[in-house]
């Protein structure tokens, strides 16, 4: 859903709105909970805010605040089948003394006692602090920030983007360092959880076998949310989130599972996964799932400087061609009807890019958009069918649009592949001299593995992919981005190891894009 659209929102003209929307509303109500009595002073077996707090989906006047009551988080949450009254406050200071908004929300068993408070009437481009209370228990204090007013002149925006945080592979030390950065927001590009069962020999273990039921997905999300470094990063900044495949199942496509599961069983599995995802993310009620469907693609604008088009390339895509995998392309990879986004989302993206007044137009999505031939020999060609290389016609539609309609400074940010890349997006990847129509920054994972034995072959193929300016598969971390009207800078921040929770961090490489000059240059 398009949350930021000049046709539907008041023009702020760089000032606070002239009215406030009521703050004392109840949110998170499930239909079946409306007539159940609400408990204001419950008793808990343990600390109910074990999963921390979070905020997200920042607008100029609004932000979503999230928490979940879970005194026994890994075993269903440990909450009674009752509605619980949760109080919240928003303040101008970190000590919560200058309270500007407060209200109540209902935590219901139907939504795992999660709370999603859409706080309205805030001032644009401002830091706020927030806290929840239930009975006599207080949550940690979180910090959040509203977006800049529409069309205001914004001089700088700092954000980080992350993806792929397999619990079992290692520690989230990258999040410890991310929480210490000076950022305005964080974008998560998917694979927030992994659905797999335990893997022996890993630094950490999953808490069950492969997950299928709603209870399974809730417990897996809770496991990930218990990580203190992840909690710290959520509490430090507002997040904009989207998913990839592992939030449900590896490499699923629309209603097509990876494994031999019946359609009916997979539809139920997807519905379970989508509900648990909503329950654990700072999302608006407009993203509340309708069974196995969930509205996740949406748009955010930060003054006149940046607009983020957040895509969902799993829920609507056609099946991977050529039976998926890393292989030469078959004829189905060029099918004009194949799609990553579905027709409706594709047209939504094109309309948004066409109307944008922003200096930088960001496409936040999951799998690598640029072509990459992992073999390099012209007579062969080996491509990843789960990436846009398996959906050539869909990619061409996007790149042709960028070339013909020329939205200002399109930059694609990408996750999924557990490694760092920088690409010039070409009008024709078979012709290195063709027009560069945009730039793609692909971030490495927080903790998920990139096969060590695969690094050398990728490096060997770089000479045959001249549009690829950078690759690293050895290090994990995140990407820190600084935007000004004249320059975009991406810093690839890498932790020394994911095995040691006290790992250090450094900048692996930095690239810039100049206004009006698509393509990246190494600093």
Calpha distance 514→439 (Å, rounded): 11
CB-neighbour burial class of residue 328 (10 A; exposed 0-12, middle 13-18, buried 19+): middle
Taking the CA atoms of the chain, what radius of gyration do you get in angstroms? Answer: 22
The pLDDT score that the predictor gives to residue 33 is: 56
Single out the residue of 430, 487, 499, 459 nearest to residue 201, CA to CA.
499
pTM: 0.93
Give Cβ neighbours of residue 341 (< 8 Å, ≥ 6 apart).
Answer: 297, 311, 312, 313, 316, 317, 349, 394
pLDDT per residue as tens digits for the range 312-322: 999 999 999 99
Rounded to 10°, the helix 263-279/214-225 angle is: 40
pLDDT score, position 151:
85
Residues of the chain with CATH 3.60.21.70: 154-522
Token pair 């592979």: residue: 169
Between the CA of residue 361 and those of 232, 301, 306, what are the distances in Å? 29, 9, 6
Question: pLDDT tens for residues 88-111?
Answer: 999 999 999 999 999 999 999 999
Is residue 260 very low, low, confident or very high in pLDDT (cuts 50, 70, 90)? Answer: confident
From the list 481, 477, 523, the residue with the least C-alpha distance to 504 is 477
The contacts of residue 268 (CB under 8 Å, 6+ apart) are 292
Residue with tokens 């950490």: 204
Residues 6+ apart with CB under 8 A from 197: 206, 208, 209, 210
pLDDT bin (cut points 50, 70, 90) of residue 377 is: confident
Sequence ranges of the chain with CATH classification 2.60.40.380: 18-152
Residues 6+ apart with CB under 8 A from 459: 471
- Whether 133 contacts 54, CB under 8 Å: no
Token pair listed for 518: 């698509």
Q: How far apart are CA 282 and CA 58, in angstroms?
A: 10
**In the predicted model, is pLDDT for residue 490 greater than 50?**
yes
The helices-and-strands tally (H runs, E runs) of the chain is 7, 25
Which homologous superfamily is 154-522 in?
A: Alkaline phosphatase D (PhoD) (3.60.21.70)
Would you call 86 helix, strand, or coil by DSSP? strand
Residue 386 near residue 251, CB atoms below 8 Å: yes
Q: CA 374 to CA 327: how far, in whole Å?
A: 9
pLDDT of the residue at 37: 81
Which residues lie closer than 8 Å to 221 by C-beta, 6 or more apart? Answer: 192, 193, 276, 277, 279, 280
Residue 229 Cα to chain centre, angstroms: 17
How confident is the model at residue 34, as a pLDDT? 57
* Confidence class for position 40, pLDDT limits 50, 70, 90: confident
pLDDT digits (tens, 9 = 90+) for 418-471: 999 999 999 999 999 999 999 999 999 999 999 999 999 999 999 999 999 999
Which CATH number among 2.60.40.380, 2.30.30.30, 3.40.190.10, 3.40.50.2020 corresponds to the domain 18-152? 2.60.40.380
pLDDT at 179 over 50: yes
Q: Can you spell out the DSSP letters for 312-343?
A: --SSSPPPPGGGSSEE---GGGG-TT--SS-H
């Amino acid at each position: 859903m398009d949350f930021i659209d000049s046709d539907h929102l008041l023009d702020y003209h760089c000032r606070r709105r002239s009215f406030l929307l009521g703050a004392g509303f109840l949110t998170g109500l499930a239909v079946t909970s409306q007539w159940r009595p609400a408990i204001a002073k419950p008793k808990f077996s343990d600390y109910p805010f074990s999963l921390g707090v979070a905020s997200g989906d920042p607008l100029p006047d609004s932000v979503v605040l999230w928490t979940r009551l879970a005194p026994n988080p890994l075993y269903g949450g440990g909450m009674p089948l009752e509605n619980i009254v949760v109080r919240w406050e928003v303040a101008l200071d970190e000590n919560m003394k200058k309270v500007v908004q407060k209200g109540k929300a209902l935590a219901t068993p139907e939504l795992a006692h999660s709370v999603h408070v859409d706080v309205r009437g805030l001032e644009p481009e401002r830091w706020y602090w927030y806290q929840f209370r239930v009975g006599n228990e207080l949550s940690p204090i979180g910090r959040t920030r509203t977006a800049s007013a529409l069309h205001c002149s914004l001089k700088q925006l700092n954000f980080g983007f992350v993806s792929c945080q397999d619990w079992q592979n290692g520690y989230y030390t990258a999040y410890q360092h991310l929480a210490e950065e000076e950022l305005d927001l964080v974008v998560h590009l998917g694979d927030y959880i992994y659905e797999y069962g335990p893997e022996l020999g890993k630094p950490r273990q999953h808490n069950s076998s492969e997950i299928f039921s709603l209870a399974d997905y809730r417990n897996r999300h809770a496991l990930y949310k218990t990580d203190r470094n992840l909690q710290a990063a959520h509490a430090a900044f507002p997040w904009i989130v989207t998913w990839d495949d592992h939030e449900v199942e590896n490499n699923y496509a629309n209603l097509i599972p990876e494994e031999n599961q019946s359609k009916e069983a997979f539809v139920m599995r997807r519905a379970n996964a989508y509900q648990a995802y909503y329950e654990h993310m700072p999302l608006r009620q407009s993203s509340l799932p309708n069974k196995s469907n969930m509205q996740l693609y949406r748009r955010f604008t930060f003054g006149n400087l940046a607009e983020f088009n957040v895509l969902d390339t799993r829920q609507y895509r056609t099946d991977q061609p050529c039976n998926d995998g890393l292989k030469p392309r078959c004829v189905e990879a060029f099918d004009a009807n194949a799609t990553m986004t579905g027709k409706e989302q594709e047209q939504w993206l094109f309309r948004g890019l066409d109307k944008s007044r922003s200096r930088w137009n960001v496409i936040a999505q999951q799998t690598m958009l640029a072509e990459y031939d992992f073999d390099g020999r012209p007579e062969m060609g080996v491509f990843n069918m789960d990436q846009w290389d398996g959906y050539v016609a869909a990619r061409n539609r996007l790149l042709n649009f960028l070339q013909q309609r020329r939205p200002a400074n399109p930059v694609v940010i990408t996750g999924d592949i557990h490694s760092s890349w920088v690409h010039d997006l070409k009008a024709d990847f078979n012709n290195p001299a063709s027009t560069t129509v945009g730039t793609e920054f692909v971030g490495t994972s927080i903790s998920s593995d990139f096969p060590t034995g695969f690094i050398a072959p990728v490096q060997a193929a770089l000479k045959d992919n001249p549009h690829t300016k950078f690759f690293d598969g050895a290090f994990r971390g995140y990407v820190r981005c600084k935007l000004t009207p004249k320059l975009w800078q991406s810093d690839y921040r890498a932790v020394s190891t994911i095995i040691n929770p006290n790992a250090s961090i450094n900048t692996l490489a930095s690239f810039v894009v100049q206004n009006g000059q698509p393509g990246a240059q190494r600093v």
